[in-house]
Amino acid sequence: QVQLVESGGGLVQSGGSLRLSCAASGRVFSIRAMGWYRQAPGKERELVANITTSGGSIKYADSVKGRFTISRDNAKNTVYLQMNSLKPEDTAVYYCNAHEIRVVNVEGAAISKDYWGQGTQVTVSS
């Protein structure tokens, strides 16, 4: 199992900044990527950004490119999301995600699983 603990959400004015953190514990050696998703009221959960733990491959949603930066500290098993130039439309509950791939036998069969944090509220006032 993997446990995720998020921190850093809050209320900020439009144009402001926030930094989210997500610390993983448990079976961290099997995590292949970590990232952030968000869900606004009445909308589906969407990817904000993610980063692989090995090669550092990074993906951003078009709506946050140039404003948000995802980074990781493998020694601390922690991923960060620096959010700058925040807009009211960024208001949502932000969820940390960890994608695990675990080899289960000598033939190399693997099982993948996604883990989620409890969510942290980000509110941007206009």
Distance CA 123, CA 126 (A): 10
Give the 3-state secondary structure of residue 42. Answer: coil
103 has a pLDDT exceeding 90: no
Distance CA 54, CA 110 (A): 17
Residues 43 and 78: beta-carbon distance below 8 Å: no
110 has a pLDDT exceeding 80: yes
> Angle at the Cα of 30 (from 64 to 7), degrees rounded to 5?
45
Residues 64 and 48: beta-carbon distance below 8 Å: yes
pLDDT digits (tens, 9 = 90+) for 6-54: 999 999 999 999 999 999 999 888 999 999 999 999 999 999 999 998 7
